[in-house]
Every structure is written in C-alpha cells, then in structure tokens.
C-alpha cells in the first residue's frame, strides 16, 4: 500500500513527529499524498522533517507544542477546523518511557508525567479532534501502545500501566464510534531502533532492530480509508486481534 497515493488530499496529524517512529510516520504519510500536521516539542526535528517532506513534493504544517498543554491541543483543534474543516487521520505516537524501577521507588512526579503524556494527552486529542474526525468521509485514529501493556514485567510497572490505560481508553472510544465512519485502533510497533528503546535496553545492539522507516508504513496503513476495522490491536509481531 505504501507506494500508492491512498492519502492524497487528506489531512493527517502525527504527534511525536520530530524523531523516531513519529518522524518516519509523518514522512510516509506525506509520501502517500497527505498534508501532514506535525506536532512535537523539538523545533529542529520538525524543521528537518519539513525539509524532507518538501523534497518529496508534499507539504506539512509544523506545530511546536508540548502535548501536556491541554489548552494548546484545544487551540490546535480550532485551528484545524478553521483551515480544513475536518481531520482525516490522527496518529497518536508521542510517548514517555519514564523510569524502569520497582514501583515503590518511583517518584510521584515521574508517575504523573508518564500518565500525562501516554494517557491524558491522548484523551485531550480525542476530546479536541472527535468532531473533526467525524467530519471526514473516513476518519481514522491510531494510538501507539506497547506489548508492555499486556506483559507488565517487573520494573516496567509505570510504563505498562500507562499503556494498559491507553488501550482501555481507545477500546471504549472505538466502541462509542462504532456507528460512525471513524475507525479507532491501537498499534504495537514491537522492538524498533529508537531513542526510547535505547534508553530502555542500553546493552542491546540497535542494528539488530528494524528501523522506524521499516515499521512506520504499517502504522500509517491504519489511517488509510482502505483500513476499515476498528477496536483492534495491530501488533507488528503478532498480527491483529480485538482490543
């Protein structure tokens, strides 16, 4: 699907777009014809992305923003409505690993910051963009989660709990949207060569892992009008199953 223009004329928003999987997803969406709304905190990374997207003959709107600023998300929703009147694709990719630690040793501020990014920010995106997605003829939303939500290994409790909460929230939202044209799913990218992975597994050889560019097209597939399933967990390693 990735060599087609299945997203031509569509507006796709990607969070965490300044590096890693989000950067690769934004590039892939642009390659497939989308106008990309790229959201991230790092201006330099967004500018690099813009250069790449322009070089392939596509266009992007850069939005330097901290996703924990809920009012900024609301303003972005209003701006998208004023400019396009709808949002065709939402890729909620931004995430925080937090600390890998025994649960009693985790500081409250670290616990709160991980849930702010991995759960609350995605709730604010849903809240602000719901009507925009409904205005599309084939609104699609996908949120990046992790197998940690299911395995909940020792020392991974904070990250695992946040991703399990994200999965539950997306499952509920998908059910609420069942009678609309909007499809809502979760994506498990597996082990990918990213900065977050390197932080979590510092002893691992990054060259043994797939690159973000290898994995991103599978995620972008989920915001294509051609993908008509909803309430699914799409796992790169294990396939698809209902949430």
Domain boundaries, the chain: 11-242
Catalytic residue from among 23, 123, 155, 159: 159
Q: What SS3 class is residue 152? A: coil
What is the per-residue pLDDT for 124? 98
pTM summary value: 0.94
What is the per-residue pLDDT for 190? 80
Under 8 Å between Cβ of 176 and 182: no
Under 8 Å between Cβ of 103 and 25: no
When the candidates are 3.40.50.970, 3.40.50.720, 3.40.1190.20, 3.40.50.620, the CATH number that belongs to 11-242 is 3.40.50.720
Q: CB neighbours (10 Å) of residue 68?
A: 17
Under 8 Å between Cβ of 50 and 128: no
Q: Determine whether 188 is an active site residue.
A: no
What is the per-residue pLDDT for 209? 59
Q: What SS3 class is residue 63? A: strand
What is the per-residue pLDDT for 192? 56
pLDDT along the chain (243 residues), means of 10: 81 97 97 98 97 96 98 98 98 95 97 98 98 98 96 96 98 98 95 58 59 93 98 96 97
- Token pair, residue 189, equals 């990218």
Under 8 Å between Cβ of 100 and 200: yes
What is the per-residue pLDDT for 2? 46
């Amino acid at each position: 699907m990735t060599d087609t223009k299945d997203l031509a004329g569509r507006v796709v928003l990607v969070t965490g777009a300044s590096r890693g999987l989000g950067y690769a997803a934004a590039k892939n969406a642009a390659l497939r014809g989308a106008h990309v709304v790229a959201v991230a905190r790092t201006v330099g990374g967004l500018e690099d992305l813009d250069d790449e997207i322009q070089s392939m003959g596509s266009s992007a709107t850069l939005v330097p923003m901290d996703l924990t600023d809920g009012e900024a998300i609301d303003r972005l929703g209003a701006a998208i409505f004023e400019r396009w009147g709808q949002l065709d694709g939402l890729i909620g990719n931004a995430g925080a690993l937090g600390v890998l630690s025994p649960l009693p040793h985790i500081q409250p501020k670290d616990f709160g910051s991980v849930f702010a990014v991995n759960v609350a920010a995605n709730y604010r995106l849903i809240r602000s963009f719901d009507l925009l997605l409904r205005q599309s003829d084939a609104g699609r939303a996908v949120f990046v989660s992790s197998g940690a939500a299911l395995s909940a290994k020792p020392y991974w409790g904070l990250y695992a709990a946040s991703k399990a909460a994200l999965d539950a929230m997306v499952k509920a939202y998908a059910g609420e949207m069942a009678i609309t044209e909007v499809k809502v799913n979760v994506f498990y990218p597996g082990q990918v060569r990213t900065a977050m992975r390197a932080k979590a597994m510092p002893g691992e050889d990054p060259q043994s892992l797939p690159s973000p560019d290898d994995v991103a097209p599978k995620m972008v597939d989920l915001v294509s009008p051609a993908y008509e399933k909803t309430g699914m967990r799409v796992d790169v390693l294990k396939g698809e199953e209902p949430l």
